[in-house]
Structure 1
């Protein structure tokens, strides 16, 4: 009798989490462009605070022994450190850097090339074979990127080169993040793995830009509220809600509804920040979101076999 209620709750969690992720990127763009917030500082602060909050949720709501238990196995501890540095930190930094040089819409869409990179990697490693769905996915990604970055004109890019470079690196980092996390997530709760990974990444970046070293003279109450949103809602709550949705929804449903993230980033970037977005860029956006949907549907069908 409780299943419909749980399902409604799961739908609320995944939709809210995906939208918060997308909007969080747009709010970060506002901080970079209007308030000159340093990318290194924001990534450091975001990771440390969000990681601590996720472990706090684990302590009070889930199996608290895992928080320290993950460090008792030497092999697992080394994997967690690598995941924190080359996975979590790399994903967060490259994504934010792409936003700072371009905008949240393009950065988010380029990051969503990660599934295509994973497909190519698995094919090259001969761990999977090329299917029709793979060809459709790669085609949608390539066409989508072409229109997104050129707006239909081959004479020049409509997106800054550095934004593209960081965005593609973000996709590569997310591909590594996804593949490398599998054995860790098989042993420990996701809140433990991601929470510690965030803290590891934030701690490492603290040596480059300590979180307490920041010029606050130009900040206003509005900018502080934006910071709170990015850290609390766009990072910690977004991830927590998305993970919680898996308790009552299928992976297919969460993957499908997760495509609301790039859509939210595009819509808020264009409407709220009034970023120019050409006709062909909208076509490119539709292609990339279509790619995500194809992957999500294919993931469901493959899980039945």
Structure 2
């Protein structure tokens, strides 16, 4: 198969990043307007999207490659850990943050993950602190302060549970990114993430079986939202983003990936009519500025840093 052109790569990452951000807002609508439970949505989203990703890989490369990971005992164990503590943790904490707050805050707080990874690498002495790293961390922390407080120290602009779940989402994404490195070196990313989704969704099924819901109460609008979340907000978002890496440099995909929080913010404000204060917009600009600096970093990316970009659309 021919390598995609750079133009195709740009289109893929733009569509993928936008779908992920809008998917968060659609999830918020399901939580607020239709009282859909977080556990149920995460379970269904993971199981269906995971099966579809494996189906895509099977059609592209054959079923043998899809099941090869289970022939290696060590890799299989790593995949189970990755599915539970990585994939499931990222998905659940992100959705819980949306449920208690809104899609914009949840998406933006996930962008603390690169800063957390920098701190981890510094502690492990796998990198050195640069001026750009310092500026990036300051931008992220400043942005979060204004995003969450709107400039007021007396109260948070979003509920405390949303903040807690959002920060946990960033931490889960950092773990997800770093832990996935050895698996991604051995197996195709669609295989790794597809199985991780099934493992995470399967585990959550024991807590909230996906079939225990009153399907008869679903409206056509709810089905449409669910379809968008699973197909576009999960499967297409991840698949297109990964495909774009075949023809774009990592800094290009990272820069265009900033459309995720942008699309979440704008759809939340324009579609859901959520209020967003002036200083919260300033916080948004700071955090998006952080992603721009990360995108244009001059130092050579470590394997862990490169996989921040690969892993972002599965959370």
- Is TM-score (shorter-chain normalized) higher than 0.5? yes
Q: Superposed, which structure 2 residues align to 1:100-115 within 5 Å? A: 100-115=99-114
The match for 2:236 is 237
What per-residue deviation string (whole Å, max 9, x for no partner) do you get for residues 84-127 of structure 1? 00000000000000000000000000011000011111111222
The residue that corresponds to 2:265 in the other structure is: 266
Under a length normalisation based on structure 2, what TM-score does the superposition of the two structures give? 0.93
Please give the alpha-carbon distance, in whole angstroms, between the structure 1 residues aligned to 2:100 and 2:216.
23
Alpha-carbon separation, structure 2, partners of 1:118 and 1:64: 34
Q: Check whether the contact 1:51–1:196 (CA below 8 A) recurs between aligned residues.
A: yes
Q: Normalising to structure 1: TM-score of the pair?
A: 0.96
Q: What is the match of residue 136 of structure 2?
A: 137
Residue correspondence of structure 1 range 195-206 to structure 2 within 5 A: 195-206=194-205
Output the CA distance in 1 between the equivalents of 2:189 and 2:36: 30
Structure 2 unmatched ranges of 5 or more: 303-315
Q: Equivalent residue for 2:225?
A: 226
Checking the alignment, whether the CA contact within 8 Å between 1:46 and 1:235 is kept in structure 2 is yes
Q: Which residue of 2 aligns with 1:194?
A: 193
Superposition pairs for residues 283-298 of structure 1, below 5 Å?
Answer: 283-298=282-297
1:40 and 2:39 correspond: yes
Q: Within 2, Cα distance between the matches of 1:179 and 1:228?
A: 30
TM-fit CA distance, 1:296: 1.4
**1:170 aligns to what?**
169
Q: Is the Cα contact below 8 Å between 1:35 and 1:218 reproduced in 2?
A: no
- Once residues 185 and 111 of structure 1 are traced to their aligned partners in structure 2, the CA distance between those partners, rounded to angstroms, is 21
Give 1:207 deviation, angstroms. 0.0
Distance in 2 between the 1:301 and 1:18 partners?
Answer: 24
Mean alpha-carbon deviation: is it higher for 22-31 or for 64-73?
Answer: 64-73
* Map of 2:310 onto structure 1: none
1:129 Cα deviation after fit = 1.5
Report what 2:80 is aligned to: 81
Q: Quote how far apart the aligned CAs of 1:63 are.
A: 5.0
Matched, 1:302 2:289: no
2:95 corresponds to which residue? 96
Give distance in 2, aligned partners of 1:16 and 1:28: 18
Gaps of 5+ in 1: none
| Cα gap change, 1:158 to 1:303, in 2 (>3 Å) | closer
CA distance in 1, matches of 2:156, 2:301: 39
Q: 2:218 and 2:190 mapped to 1: Cα distance?
A: 32
Aligned counterparts, 1:22-61, within 5 A: 22-61=21-60
Question: SS where residue 40 of structure 1 aligns?
Answer: helix
- Paired residues, what number? 301
Separation (CA, whole Å) in 2 of partners of 1:129 and 1:11: 31
Alpha-carbon shift at residue 215 of structure 1 (Å): 2.3
C-alpha displacement of 1:20: 0.1
- Matches for 1:113-152 after TM superposition, within 5 Å: 113-152=112-151
Provide the C-alpha distance between the structure 1 equivalents of 2:5 and 2:280, rounded to a whole number of angstroms: 38
1:64 deviates by: 3.5
Shift >3 Å, 4+ stretches? none
Q: Following the alignment from structure 2 to structure 1, what is the Cα–Cα distance between the partners of residues 72 and 18?
A: 36
Q: Distance in 1 between matches of 2:118 and 2:242?
A: 23
Displacement, 1:9?
1.1
